[in-house]
Structure 1
Amino acid sequence: MAKQRHRTGQGNQVRIIGGEHRGRRLEFPDSPGLRPTADRTRETLFNWLQMQLPGARCLDLFAGSGALGFEAASRGAGQVTLLEQDSRVAAQLEANRALLDMASVAVRQADAIKWLDQAPEPFDIIFLDPPFADHLLTDCCRKLDQGGWLGLDPRIYLEWDLHGPTPKLPPHWVNLKEKKAGQVAYALYTR
């Protein structure tokens, strides 16, 4: 999930790699810590999720470019909530949602940690790929687990820096799959 290279003035783009909107390119603004999940990593992730995805309720807590959430919606998720703290990034997510005419996608501008303190609604699939420098995974996982955010048979996707701290996860979470790509570790868990 290395930062994608782009030429100055050309803007940042991410490509949807599967489903109804396959091949569509979406723009996103520069923002500190924003690293779109690489195409190859997303392909692996969505192969892992192919049986759970149709009709699933998905939450992308640190949406950034929207690569994970828009990919999930393109591949048949029933509902996708994209959460993004940066107002410029959230505005671009909303513009991309409108461009693709994705009624199943909702964009919310909010701080993920504070958002998880509100009354929960359970999700089937949760994407957790926060800015690496903020070290938010452990706190987010605890809040998701204790706060009632996880559905009956959830899938929780995590990405973290191989050279940073390994997240401390609830003891009853089960690692289903795990891989490394460059400087990034990524894994899929259930409870």
Structure 2
Amino acid sequence: MTKGGVGQGNPSSTSSSSVSGSPVSSSEDALQRPVLPAWEFLEAVPFVLEAVLTACAHGRLSSRDLTTGLRDLVDFLPASLAAMVTYFSAEITRGIWKPVAMNGTDWPSPAATLHSVESEIKEILASAGVCVNSCYPRGMPPMLPLPMAALVSLTITFKLDKNSEYIHGVVGQALENCAGGAPGQACHHRIPLDPESPEMA
């Protein structure tokens, strides 16, 4: 277009790439392509997870920033979720990470529903003639291994996102498997935090 608003030249010669808004220059288009293929990103995910978990364990990274970073990674590369589940599952069953307090400040707290879940479990067991004590000390915040706390927190961020329901299908089963192999009372504390459980629905 000229200053007067009249086009010059043959309109049909306009590049289709210009009409669509994509770059005309092939060199510019090449610059916008990823430098590394996706599988190289996936290979790096376990190393990234180890680094951020270590930083969080030593207080150099907040739990909120850890969860946000994991969510950003899944949004950018959804396939990284499989690598996350595999890595966190392995780390949980290894049992080398210190537990963190699910106090509702640093990490989500199951306190609102933990008592009701425990009561339901006791009632079911009592009907079968089995009596059990409380699964955790009163007045103490529930504890989960750091990798499990990170995985649970990541799952909760997808709770209200209807387009990401597949996340719960992938992570939910992994949490069930990990809870069985995790030390202590991780299974009891995970149930009220699971977005797929009726209590969190």
Name the TM-score class by shorter chain.
under 0.3
Compare the two structures and name the one with the higher strand fraction.
1
Compare the two structures and name the one with the higher helix fraction.
2
Query: What's the TM-score once normalised by structure 2's chain length?
Result: 0.26
Tell me which of the two structures has the higher relative contact order, counting C-alpha pairs closer than 8 angstroms and 6 or more residues apart.
2
Higher radius of gyration, 1 or 2: 2
Query: What's the TM-score once normalised by structure 1's chain length?
Result: 0.27
